Chain A
């Protein structure tokens, strides 16, 4: 259990996930044209994912999975940091970074 928690709060995991999300989105950007591009903005996201083949939508599936893992990583890191620094009475030092984490989580949430 401790090993799983350490993985969830791992900075390295966050860095790797950020890099992979960038690569997945970059790969997808080159295929986003024509009917495929028109359709993605005209229908709900999961309807678009179901409508087109995996050869077209792979990058968005991958991005969604990676973003879900990144959200989990962000939540766990924030919880761990807040708990540890709250115990050390260092609240002011974590507020700016945790606000940004909260902003990131909010942006992902409103896309659902």
Chain B
């Protein structure tokens, strides 16, 4: 199976200039996740290897979907940004050991899978939003800020759904919808941060510069919420 993940990583990284190569890489990535899920009998969503691989494939999915929008349809820089970012995370997942364990009883519920899948779709959309923000800083095309807003809104909606599913899963797993741990705090911070970003749009085009930088900062907050907290801090979601 691992050659499929290697193919995904290589095609994303070295085929980043061409959307068809990125799409081919994405097919390999989806194939890897599908086969791994088939062998485990569950979605591969436990531990750093599986989650980072899922995140990398989600980035490619959301990036290619966003590229269908008219302002990005011929933007080679955007394809390159999506491909390289997805490739880096694909490569990062290979650094972590593959754990072939059955789903722990505490995680064995659809609410957990829904919680994690929605969270990674949201993280991926926040990442795509950061790339579009970078594009706006470089090219100053107003249409790019419209896309940034749409990716933030879609990501925030996924993230809201993930938090609801996570609360329900937490109730089954721990007997409470909420725990005071760094992960829950940073999850709330991320939700409030993107609420801020979405409200900032109401201020109009004069605030686009701040909005663009916050779009990039948002992905930093996303990565800290996902990887920083899980790897560096003791929390309910530690790897």
Task: Compute how far the CA of A40 lies from the CA of B180 in the bound complex, rounded to whole angstroms.
Answer: 7
Contact B195 A26 (CB under 8 A): no
Contact B203 A111 (CB under 8 A): no
Residue-wise interface mask of A (8-24) relative to B, using a CB-CB cutoff of 8 A (1 in contact, 0 not): 00010011001101100
Contact A11 B199 (CB under 8 A): yes
Task: Compute how far the CA of A32 lies from the CA of B229 in the bound complex, rounded to whole angstroms.
Answer: 12
Specify which chain B residues have a CB less than 8 angstroms from the CB of A32 in the assembled complex: 180-182, 185
Residue-wise interface mask of A (65-78) relative to B, using a CB-CB cutoff of 8 A (1 in contact, 0 not): 00000000000000
Shortest CB distance B138–A (Å)? 26
Contact A41 B179 (CB under 8 A): yes
Sort chain B's interface into a size bin: 20 to 34
Specify which chain A residues have a CB less than 8 angstroms from the CB of B199 in the assembled complex: 11, 14-15, 18
Is A29 an interface residue when CB atoms closer than 8 A count as contact?
yes
Contact B195 A18 (CB under 8 A): yes
Specify which chain A residues have a CB less than 8 angstroms from the CB of B180 in the assembled complex: 32, 37, 40-41
Name the prevailing secondary structure of the B interface residues.
helix
Shortest CB distance A13–B (Å)? 11
Specify which chain B residues have a CB less than 8 angstroms from the CB of A41 in the assembled complex: 176, 179-181
Sort chain A's interface into a size bin: 20 to 34
Task: Compute how far the CA of A19 lies from the CA of B193 in the bound complex, rounded to whole angstroms.
Answer: 7
Task: Compute how far the CA of A40 lies from the CA of B188 in the bound complex, rounded to whole angstroms.
Answer: 17
B:187-236 near A, CB below 8 Å: 188-189, 192-193, 195-196, 199-200, 202-203, 229, 233-234
Task: Compute how far the CA of A30 lies from the CA of B233 in the bound complex, rounded to whole angstroms.
Answer: 8
Specify which chain B residues have a CB less than 8 angstroms from the CB of A111 in the assembled complex: 178
Specify which chain A residues have a CB less than 8 angstroms from the CB of B179 in the assembled complex: 41
Is B111 an interface residue when CB atoms closer than 8 A count as contact?
no
Is B89 an interface residue when CB atoms closer than 8 A count as contact?
no
Shortest CB distance B182–A (Å)? 4
Contact B189 A18 (CB under 8 A): no
Specify which chain A residues have a CB less than 8 angstroms from the CB of B196 in the assembled complex: 15, 18-19, 22
Is B172 an interface residue when CB atoms closer than 8 A count as contact?
no
Interface residues of chain A, those whose CB is within 8 Å of chain B, are: 11, 14-15, 18-19, 21-22, 25-26, 28-30, 32-33, 37, 40-41, 100, 103-104, 111
Instruction: Give 18 CB contacts A-B under 8 Å.
Output: A11-B199, A11-B203, A15-B200, A18-B196, A21-B192, A25-B185, A25-B188, A25-B189, A29-B186, A29-B189, A30-B233, A32-B180, A33-B234, A37-B181, A37-B234, A41-B181, A100-B160, A111-B178
